[in-house]
């Protein structure tokens, strides 16, 4: 209720500033103009939202699978922890803007370069949070597994892989927000569709309200995905939400 | 021939022919540390006949947990010899896996040995009544009381089906009342299903109530300073004069001043 009031207040202030503040429409459209664009351009916006949403979903899926696999490998192998982990950290410093054109040159205008860019930026939070969750497993639990004659792989499958799931979800929630940015950057680097492409066209065409409408949809996409993940997590990992839960 | 001794693989402890119990002699264990290495155990000896319950008491940091890890084969001694029938470790905290039901936690050793989930459950389920856990099969650990969690952990330890149990302060995290209940319960459970047990505890009374023999350890580097034979009959009462007397002797061996006992 208070959140809604705050939102209405902010939108009202924005509306007043845009109408009466003397700012050019092409720089800052009023909320009502953006709402108008959302309605008027709904077919165009929807088609592009479907494209971007698909890229984001697939990109997150790729990141989760690759992130989980990478976390497992780094967790189980000291050698990989020493060699691959620093590379992972370094990979995060690569500005996507720099490599995006290269990826487009390699993979073309199709889906592949978008997934690669989204995965490049989503992969890291997934690996780090998953790895941390694995590392938080009580060493005594692994000793116990050893005296139960569990092999290293069995212990991993029965204990660490399960204990890692809350970490995987945390990583996925972070990934959702950055995946949307990644998709926009990827589309701007080379695409003929998607909300990123729409943004790239709308701004020079002075369709600022339409560009803002696209931004609203991108935010909504991230919020919906975030909420869906939180919901799935609650259903799939009820034990992680208990006060004494977590990885004992 | 029936009389031929067959060395079975360690994963099938029950088929190992002659029961040997546990024997540690002259064990030394050193951990690298700064500024100088820590000698956890030095000249440590322990012997447990098959089916015997040996209590080990000692001041904190005297290497009691190291001793159990040596028995379980989780560590190797730097000097001396350790031989033991296959042992299963029961840590101080119950370490139940929060995502598994009580039944699946208890059945974990069976899963590790390759049983399918349903098969493992079918074998663990009949034991729940005997452990006072009937009706809690599907309950997750965080919804169980401390005593119940410990009983699930103990059932898990027994289902590992190993001749030796290495119990590391199993009741330390429980309140006094629950601890007393659990001690009586453990004595009963071991009477029904005898195993060779090393019971490490800081609670002298617990050792005297449950064990056949109590070893008192010195501060670090740990070794045995006194060995007490406990009265044979069970169940024992806390107020039995002989139990009280043994408790006093153990405390004296630990160097606890008269006034503090």
Q: What's the CATH code of the domain at A169?
A: 1.10.3720.10
A228 part of a folded domain:
yes
Q: What is the pLDDT of residue B1?
A: 43
Spell out which residues of chain B touch residue A142, defining contact as CB-CB under 8 Å: none
Chain B residue closest in CA terms to A161: B99
**Mean pLDDT for the stretch of residues A212-227:** 94
Consecutive H or E run containing A242? none
Highest mean pLDDT among A241-245, B17-21, B154-158, B228-232: B154-158
* b/e per residue A192-206 (b: at least 16 CB within 10 A): eebbbbbbbebeeee
pLDDT band at B228 (very low <50, low <70, confident <90, very high): confident
Q: What is the pLDDT of residue B259?
A: 65
A121 part of a folded domain:
yes
A24: exposed, middle or buried (Cβ count in 10 Å: 0-12, 13-18, 19+)? exposed
Q: Which domain holds residue A160?
A: 50-234
A62 part of a folded domain:
yes
- What is the nearest CA distance from B176 to chain A, expressed in angstroms? 21
A247 pLDDT higher than 80: no
Chain B residue closest in CA terms to A140: B91
Tens-digit pLDDT profile for residues A122-173: 988 999 999 999 999 999 899 999 999 999 999 999 999 999 999 999 999 9
Q: Phi, psi at residue A235, to the nearest 5°?
A: -75, -40
Spell out which residues of chain A touch residue B11, defining contact as CB-CB under 8 Å: 149
Q: Would you say the C-alpha torsion A62, A64, A68, A71 has a positive or negative sign? A: positive
Query: What is the number of structural domains in chain A?
Result: 1
Facing A244 at nearest CB: one of B111, B142, B166: B142
Q: What is the pLDDT of residue A42?
A: 92
Facing B95 at nearest CB: one of A144, A242, A246: A144
Q: Which residue has the higher pLDDT, B245 or A38?
A: A38
**Mean pLDDT for the stretch of residues B149-172:** 91
Q: How far is Cα B90 from Cα A173, in angstroms, rounded to an integer?
A: 37
Highest mean pLDDT among A202-206, B10-14, B114-118: B114-118
User: SS3 sequence, A123-159?
Assistant: HHHHHHHHHHHHHCCCHHHHHHHHHCCCCHHHHHHHH
- What is the nearest CA distance from A41 to chain B, expressed in angstroms? 48
Tens-digit pLDDT profile for residues B94-129: 899 999 999 999 999 999 999 999 999 999 999 998
In which order are the strands placed within the sheet that holds B196-201? B87-90, B164-168, B196-201, B53-57, B213-217, B224-229
Closest CA to A133 of A160, A98, A99, A102: A160
- What is the nearest CA distance from A74 to chain B, expressed in angstroms? 23
A173 part of a folded domain:
yes
Consecutive H or E run containing A241? none
Q: Is the minimum CB–CB distance between A149 and chain B shorter than 8 Å? A: yes
Q: B97–A248: do the CB atoms touch at under 8 Å? A: yes
Domains of chain B, start order: 39-86+162-255 (3.40.50.300), 96-161 (no CATH)
Contact in structure between B102 and B136 (CB atoms under 8 Å): yes
Q: Is the minimum CB–CB distance between B91 and chain A shorter than 8 Å? A: yes
Q: B98–A145: do the CB atoms touch at under 8 Å? A: no
pLDDT band at A96 (very low <50, low <70, confident <90, very high): confident
Interface of B with A in 40-69 (CB under 8 A): 69
A41 part of a folded domain:
no
Percent of chain A with pLDDT over 90: 61
A4: exposed, middle or buried (Cβ count in 10 Å: 0-12, 13-18, 19+)? exposed
Q: Phi, psi at residue A89, to the nearest 5°?
A: -60, -45
A31 part of a folded domain:
no
**Mean pLDDT for the stretch of residues A69-98:** 87
A14 part of a folded domain:
no
Highest mean pLDDT among A157-166, B9-18, B200-209: A157-166
Contact in structure between A148 and B108 (CB atoms under 8 Å): yes
pLDDT band at B9 (very low <50, low <70, confident <90, very high): very low
Q: B98–A242: do the CB atoms touch at under 8 Å? A: yes
A16 part of a folded domain:
no
| Calculated CA dihedral for residues B88, B94, B97, B101, nearest 10 degrees | 100
B164 pLDDT higher than 90: yes
Q: What is the pLDDT of residue B261?
A: 64
B4 pLDDT higher than 70: no
Which residues is B228 bridged to in the sheet? B214
Closest CA to B43 of B83, B85, B84, B81: B81
Percent of chain B with pLDDT over 70: 91
- What is the nearest CA distance from A223 to chain B, expressed in angstroms? 28
């Amino acid at each position: 209720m208070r959140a809604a009031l705050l939102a209405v207040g902010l939108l009202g202030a924005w509306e007043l500033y845009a109408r009466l503040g003397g700012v050019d429409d092409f720089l800052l459209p009023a909320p009502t103009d953006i709402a108008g664009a959302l309605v008027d351009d709904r077919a165009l916006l929807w088609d592009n939202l479907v494209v971007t949403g698909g890229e984001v979903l697939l990109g997150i899926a790729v990141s989760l699978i690759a992130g989980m696999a990478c976390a497992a490998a780094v967790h189980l192998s000291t050698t990989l922890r020493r060699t691959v982990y620093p590379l992972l950290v370094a990979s995060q410093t690569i500005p996507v803007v720099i490599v995006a054109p290269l990826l487009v040159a390699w993979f073309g205008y199709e889906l592949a370069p978008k997934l690669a860019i989204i995965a490049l930026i989503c992969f890291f939070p997934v690996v780090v949070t998953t790895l941390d969750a694995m590392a938080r497993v009580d060493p005594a639990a692994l000793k116990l597994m050893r005296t139960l004659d569990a092999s290293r792989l069995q212990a991993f499958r029965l204990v660490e892989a399960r204990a890692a799931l809350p970490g995987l979800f945390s990583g996925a929630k972070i990934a959702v927000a950055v995946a949307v940015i990644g998709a926009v950057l990827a589309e701007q680097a080379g695409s003929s569709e998607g909300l990123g492409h729409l943004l790239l066209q709308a701004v020079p065409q002075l369709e600022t309200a339409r560009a803002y409408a696209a931004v609203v949809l991108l935010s909504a996409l991230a919020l919906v995905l975030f909420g869906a993940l939180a919901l799935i997590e609650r259903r799939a990992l009820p034990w992680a939400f208990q006060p004494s839960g977590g990885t004992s | 021939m029936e009389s031929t001794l067959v060395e079975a693989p360690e994963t099938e402890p029950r088929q190992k022919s002659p029961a040997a119990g546990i024997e540690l002699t002259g064990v030394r264990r050193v951990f690298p540390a700064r500024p100088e290495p820590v000698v956890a155990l030095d000249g440590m000896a322990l012997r447990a006949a098959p089916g015997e319950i040996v209590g080990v008491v000692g001041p904190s940091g005297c290497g009691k947990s190291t001793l159990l890890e040596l028995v379980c084969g989780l560590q190797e001694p730097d000097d001396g010899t350790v031989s033991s029938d296959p042992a299963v470790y029961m840590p101080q905290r119950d370490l139940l896996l929060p995502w598994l039901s009580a039944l699946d936690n208890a059945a974990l050793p069976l899963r590790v040995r390759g049983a399918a989930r349903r098969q493992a459950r079918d074998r663990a389920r009949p034991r729940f009544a005997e452990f006072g856990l009937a009706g809690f099969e599907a309950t997750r650990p965080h919804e169980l009381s401390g005593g119940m969690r410990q009983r699930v952990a103990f059932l898990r330890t027994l289902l590992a089906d190993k001749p030796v149990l290495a119990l590391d302060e199993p009741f330390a995290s429980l309140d006094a009342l629950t601890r007393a209940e659990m001690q009586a319960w453990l004595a009963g459970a071991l009477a029904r299903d005898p195993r060779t047990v090393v019971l490490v505890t800081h609670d002298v009374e617990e050792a005297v109530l449950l064990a056949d023999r109590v070893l008192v350890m010195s501060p670090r580097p740990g070794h045995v300073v006194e060995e007490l034979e406990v009265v044979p009959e069970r169940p024992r009462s806390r107020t039995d004069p002989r139990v009280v007397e043994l408790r006093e002797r153990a405390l004296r061996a630990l160097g606890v001043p008269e006034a503090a006992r």
